[in-house]
Amino acid sequence: MKQQTLAELIATANADTLRRMISCRPRLVDVLPLNQVSEVVTGRVLTHSGPPIEWERMSGAQRGAVIAAVMYEEWAETPDQATELAAGGTLRFVPNHDLGGVGPMAGILSPTMHVYVVEDEAGGGKAYSCTEFDALFGAFDDAALDEIKLWNKIVFPVVGRAVRKIGGLDLKSIMTRALTMGDELHSRQTAASSLLALSLAPAIVETSSTEEASLALKVLGESDLSFLPLSMAACKLGSMAAANVPNSTLVTAMARNGTDFGVQVSGLGPQWFCAPAPTIEGIYFPGFGPDDAGFDMGDSAITETNGLGAFALAASPTMSGLVGVSVDQLNKLAGQMREICAGVNSSWSIPQLDSGGPPIGIDIRKVLQSGIAPLIDTATAHRDPGHRIIGAGISRAPMVCFSQALDAWFDRYAPTSLPDHGRAESEGTERA
Amino acid sequence: MDRRLRLGNEMSVTVSHVIRSSYRDSVWLMRLAGRLAAMTGIAKSAVMMGTEANKEVLKESGLLDGTGRDARADDVVVAVSAETAALGQDALAAAVAAFESVDRTVMGTSYSSLGQAIDATPEANIALISVPGQYAAGEARAALSRGLNVMLFSDNVEIQEEIQLKAQAKSHGLLVMGPDCGTAIVNGVPLAFANAVRTGPVGLAGASGTGLQEVSVLLDRAGIGVSQVLGAGGRDTGDAVGGASLLQCIDLLETDPATKVIAMVSKPPSRAVADDVLARASAASKPVVACFLGSSATTVHANVTHVGFLEDVVPAVAAHLGLAWASEPGDFWISPQDYERLLKDQVRRLSKSQRFICGLFSGGTLRDEAELVVHGGLGSGSLNYADDHGSVAQGVLGLKSHRLVDLGADEFTVGRPHPMIDPEIRNRLILDACLEPAIAVILMDVVLGFGSHPDPAGAAADAIREGRARAASQGRDVAFVVSVCGTEADPQNLADSEKQLTQVGAAVLPTNAQAARFAMAVGQRSQSAGRLRCVQPPAAAERVSCEKSFLWGGDLVVINVGLTGFYEDLQNLGVRVAHVAWTPPAGGDRDLAARLSLIM
């Protein structure tokens, strides 16, 4: 038998990876406290967004979110005590991604906080995610803590009862419709959020008191981003299905903790390839500007990893202002992202792309070859603890993450093919 | 005026800024650097990709600090040497703003790959490629495989690549102009460096950029005009490539109904290629004029008229068109009175010790033609074009003979744009030459047209004025002899350009060859026109009929890959053009590119 070239091996592996990612069939099956979903999150454990990080290096917003979570769990009574506790080294921090989950912005979740539980009907995987509270931007005042309580005491239990009552909710069909209604399913979730509330409404009314049903539906329906955690969890399932394909050079995670930007690659397992998190170019709410902004943060770039968000901006004319281009230029961005992707997601159809699908399957080779860094549309948090969202915009994944991943790929799959291996490796280390 | 010279060695501070992962073409970067250098209190500036080679350049010019050292190959380094840190920061801020404004416009109007641009522009029929040499062949191959003709402006393309590209093109019925093709006018559209010339019955083909410019300009001034101007690339007429493109150009021009006469312009081809090309030309159904600079025809070809100098193409063409023409080779196209006045004005400046002609050319072929006059003379046979062009370090000081320098040669263009775009290097050498006591005449070309500097005559005039002032401070003066390659329709305007040069005391001659002959006359202290014939500039008496010529089935639709300046020029002309905001594979990192090539 003819021996396959490296390029052929990769082509086969990437096609398989892409097929797995696209054929994922996400379904919302339950809403449960995090400690019932992951046995790791028991005792004084908090999860966080992005690649691994400890308190000492955490960004301001992530620290603020830790303070809120500690106070919500009543491990401390005041922000100062919470800070002291966190700095004392008795808390354990674990990346959501390592537990099969994703969290918006700071991504700080505590053991008793509820999370959506989403299953892949096609591949059987299970993922979790949580609502984008103000606390996840770093706010820890009374209103921020009250919001966490409202969701965990009322909204999440109400939704959980409804979801169980109807035997789960197909998310793919909601996402498919939302893409034709102006959502790109990362920063714009207006249509999907309404569809979510509508889809659950009958079961919510049936399974909860009028007062609680009314409140839960109001919260779900009023937020433009109530579908964000479900979109993220659905994409995490796609990445889980696509993970660990030998030889594959497709990206399975892009995640940021406000300090570092991390990339995972299918063929390279759970290893993170990290670089300093980039800044976000965009617009600010009144009273805030670039000097106030923290760096890129959150697990929500899992949507771009799965061909949504900035990769599907063509679907979202209303996002053009945030991205800083005209409406007809959004299609061009899709063309640009197509340059670095293994294919298009033909299971989705975007009218603005001549009813074609958005590009999907970021290939580290194509990123490095073209010099085009994956684009992410995202929210901006404050650089200091104690604030809510201050703006939104776009960021670009750092190229260094991809060149490190390439080094690791050669180490693993073709260590003898590089004459100048030692030199290339030392350069990679230096960049890290 | 060059502020580097004015500011000298004043105290200064170097500040720099790195723009991450942002590729721009070198001309755009160098233009930005020029704008920064013109800001208040900025002595030196550089805007370059952060490659190791560029960092060396920065280091040598004292512009590399810690910030720049950390830049990667795909980063842009902006570095300035300023009178104060605050002024330096102003310049850096201006650079960042320039990047952001381009980001905004480029994002809207450009494509990130050739394939994308062609998908969006299916009517495109030519790709204008100006990316760095090692990448150019790949882009050209891609364009050919998608059915596009190619103009390859890039130089430093491997000769094997050139041979393969031209074979690929021929098998698909497509044309490759270049590599190193600087000039073309196709279907009325000027590509890269070309002048605004009238439409007419002459189809030009050649392996010489400024040679084609000069001939097309002189045909325009004569009222004749061109149908097409096709470039073959500097190496096309060598043995290795065998005139592949030039032969195809003759085919194209022969079948083009608007072309009545074909004219070829080239440095002397190799013997074998000359035989092939002339055999093809003599079999053509249209008359052919051949100007192989410096080579005298050894064989007579019935259908081919051989001429010695670029300007001689015009009367030969006129004869074929049946137009009346008063002049013969060697004539000056000015009145005897003007000739004597100009000559006296230059000669009387010179002292006995000033003996040599210093030629500072922006056009390589124009330099060669002048060389033919100064060192060779008409019909002297082959010239060694790999002549000593002088080095930058050597400059023009200590000259012991006539020396004509091609400032577009590689050694002068490392890290700076071509002198037709940026006259700074020539301005510097003009000043040097004015301080060299042995130099009598400074002979120059000024090339107008699309692609060139917005005011090359003005820039040269500033340097001439300054140079003469410096010479005067040493009790001397220097003769200046210039020809302007341009037309009234050029963006820089011929009359304005000539006037600026005349006003600073330069003798302006109507052609490059005549300027060179005039420079010899000045150098030899000739007293009068003597036996020389001076005739008024000839022009076709009757209006030459012209039909518009269309190669490849219709209007030219261009995909521009590389220099943004070419894109802007074409857009301004109302030509349909799609721009590819090209970036080097792997961000210009060669090791990374090599590794990627193993797995892609």
CB B480 within 8 A of CB B448: no
Q: What are the structure tokens assigned to B50, written together?
A: 């952060």
Between A227 and B109, the more confident residue is A227
* pLDDT score at A1: 55
Interface test with B, best of A336, A413, A416 (most B CBs within 10 A): A336
Q: For residue B106, give the H/E element and its range.
A: helix B85-109
Question: Rounded to a whole number, what is the distance in Å from the CA of B106 to chain A's nearest CA?
Answer: 11
Give the span between the Cα atoms of B597 and B587, in whole angstroms: 14
* pLDDT score at B100: 75
Query: In which band, very low, low, confident or very high, does the pLDDT at B82 lie, cut at 50, 70 and 90?
Result: very high
Maximum Cα–Cα distance across chain B: 73
Cα–Cα nearest to B264, from B272, B255, B256, B280: B280
pLDDT in tens, B471-496: 999 999 999 999 999 999 999 999 99
Cα–Cα nearest to A41, from A132, A110, A102: A110
Other beta carbons within 10 angstroms of residue A351's beta carbon come to 12
Q: Which residues of A touch B584 (CB under 8 A)?
A: 371
Question: Rounded to a whole number, what is the distance in Å from the CA of A223 to chain B's nearest CA?
Answer: 32
**Window A:333-352, CB contacts with B under 8 Å:** 333, 335-336, 338-339
Treating both helix axes as pointing N-terminal to C-terminal, what angle do B85-109 and B26-37 enclose, rounded to 10 degrees?
Answer: 150
- Which residues fall within 8 angstroms of residue A401, CB to CB, at 6 or more apart? A261, A262, A263, A273, A274, A275
Q: What angle do CA B584, B589, B590 make, to 5 degrees?
A: 100
Instruction: Report the pLDDT averaged over residues B34-62.
Output: 88
CB A382 within 8 A of CB A292: yes
Question: Rounded to a whole number, what is the distance in Å from the CA of B183 to chain A's nearest CA?
Answer: 30
Question: Rounded to a whole number, what is the distance in Å from the CA of A222 to chain B's nearest CA?
Answer: 34
Give the span between the Cα atoms of B41 and B13, in whole angstroms: 10
The pTM for the full model equals: 0.75
Looking at the predicted structure, is the pLDDT value of residue B209 above 80? Answer: yes
CB B16 within 8 A of CB B65: yes
Q: Are strands B199-206 and B226-231 parallel, antiparallel or unpaired?
A: parallel
Question: Amino acid letter at A134?
Answer: D
Q: What are the structure tokens assigned to A383, written together?
A: 């650089």
Q: Do A335 and B116 touch (CB under 8 A)?
A: yes
Cα–Cα nearest to B198, from B178, B175, B221, B177: B221
Cα–Cα nearest to A404, from A315, A304, A273: A273
Give the span between the Cα atoms of A111 and A89, in whole angstroms: 18
Q: Do A373 and B584 touch (CB under 8 A)?
A: no
CB B513 within 8 A of CB B370: yes
B112 lies within 8 A of chain A by CB: yes
**Percentage of chain A modeled with pLDDT above 90:** 84
Q: Are strands B126-129 and B557-561 parallel, antiparallel or unpaired?
A: parallel
At A260 the three-state DSSP class reads strand
Bridge partners, B126 (sequence order):
B149, B558
CB A253 within 8 A of CB A279: no
Cα–Cα nearest to A306, from A15, A24, A16: A24
Average pLDDT score, chain A: 93
pLDDT in tens, A292-351: 999 999 999 999 999 999 999 999 998 988 887 788 788 888 888 998 999 999 889 898
Helices assigned H by DSSP within B146-270:
159-171, 209-221, 244-255
Find the range with the poorest average confidence among B18-22, B213-217, B318-322: B18-22
3-state helix, strand and coil shares in percent for chain A, rounded to the nearest 5: 50, 20, 35
B393 lies within 8 A of chain A by CB: no
Between B528 and B547, the more confident residue is B547
**Cα of A273 vs its chain's centroid, Å:** 16
* pLDDT score at B208: 84
pLDDT in tens, A137-180: 999 999 999 999 999 999 999 999 999 999 999 999 999 999 99
* pLDDT score at B298: 53
CB A47 within 8 A of CB A101: yes
Bridge partners, B16 (sequence order):
B79
At B252 the three-state DSSP class reads helix
Q: Do A365 and B596 touch (CB under 8 A)?
A: yes
Give the span between the Cα atoms of A64 and A70, in whole angstroms: 10
Instruction: Report the pLDDT averaged over residues B14-36.
Output: 83
Which of B111, B583, B599 has the CB atom closest to A6's CB atom?
Answer: B599
A399 lies within 8 A of chain B by CB: yes
At B491 the three-state DSSP class reads coil
Query: In which band, very low, low, confident or very high, does the pLDDT at B538 lie, cut at 50, 70 and 90?
Result: low
Helices assigned H by DSSP within A3-77:
6-23, 34-37, 60-72
Looking at the predicted structure, is the pLDDT value of residue B384 above 80? Answer: no
Give the span between the Cα atoms of B130 and B564, in whole angstroms: 9
Give the span between the Cα atoms of B123 and B108, in whole angstroms: 20
Between B234 and B516, the more confident residue is B516
Cα–Cα nearest to B486, from B525, B520, B445: B445
Helices assigned H by DSSP within B283-363:
313-320, 336-347
What values do phi and psi take at A279, rounded to 5?
-85, 165
Give the span between the Cα atoms of B488 and B490, in whole angstroms: 6
In this prediction, does ipTM exceed 0.90? no
* pLDDT score at A419: 57
Cα–Cα nearest to B187, from B519, B466, B550, B557: B550
Query: In which band, very low, low, confident or very high, does the pLDDT at A425 lie, cut at 50, 70 and 90?
Result: very low
Q: Do A369 and B598 touch (CB under 8 A)?
A: no
Q: Are strands B76-82 and B13-19 parallel, antiparallel or unpaired?
A: antiparallel
Give the span between the Cα atoms of B37 and B80, in whole angstroms: 8
* pLDDT score at A238: 98
CB B498 within 8 A of CB B460: no
Question: Rounded to a whole number, what is the distance in Å from the CA of B179 to chain A's nearest CA?
Answer: 24
Q: Which residues of A touch B21 (CB under 8 A)?
A: 371, 373, 396, 399
DSSP B376: I
Helices assigned H by DSSP within A208-349:
210-222, 228-242, 302-305, 320-323, 330-338
**Helices (runs of H) and strands (runs of E) counted in chain B:** 21, 21
Looking at the predicted structure, is the pLDDT value of residue B385 above 50? Answer: no
Q: What are the structure tokens assigned to B56, written together?
A: 């060396």
* pLDDT score at A330: 87
Q: CA gyration radius for chain A?
A: 21
Find the range with the poorest average confidence among A281-285, A363-367, A409-413, B73-77: B73-77
Other beta carbons within 10 angstroms of residue B449's beta carbon come to 28
Query: In which band, very low, low, confident or very high, does the pLDDT at B107 lie, cut at 50, 70 and 90?
Result: very low
Q: How distant, in Å, are the alpha carbons of A79, B274, B280, B362 from that of B309? A: 88, 17, 22, 18
pLDDT in tens, B233-273: 989 999 999 999 999 999 999 999 999 999 999 988 888 99
Query: In which band, very low, low, confident or very high, does the pLDDT at B47 lie, cut at 50, 70 and 90?
Result: very high
At B30 the three-state DSSP class reads helix
Average pLDDT score, chain B: 87
In terms of Cβ atoms closer than 10 Å to its own Cβ (0-12, 13-18, 19+), residue A420 is: exposed
Q: What are the structure tokens assigned to B265, written together?
A: 């312009």
* pLDDT score at A409: 97
In terms of Cβ atoms closer than 10 Å to its own Cβ (0-12, 13-18, 19+), residue A159 is: buried
For A239: left if phi > 0, alpha if psi spans -120 to 50, otherwise beta; the answer is alpha
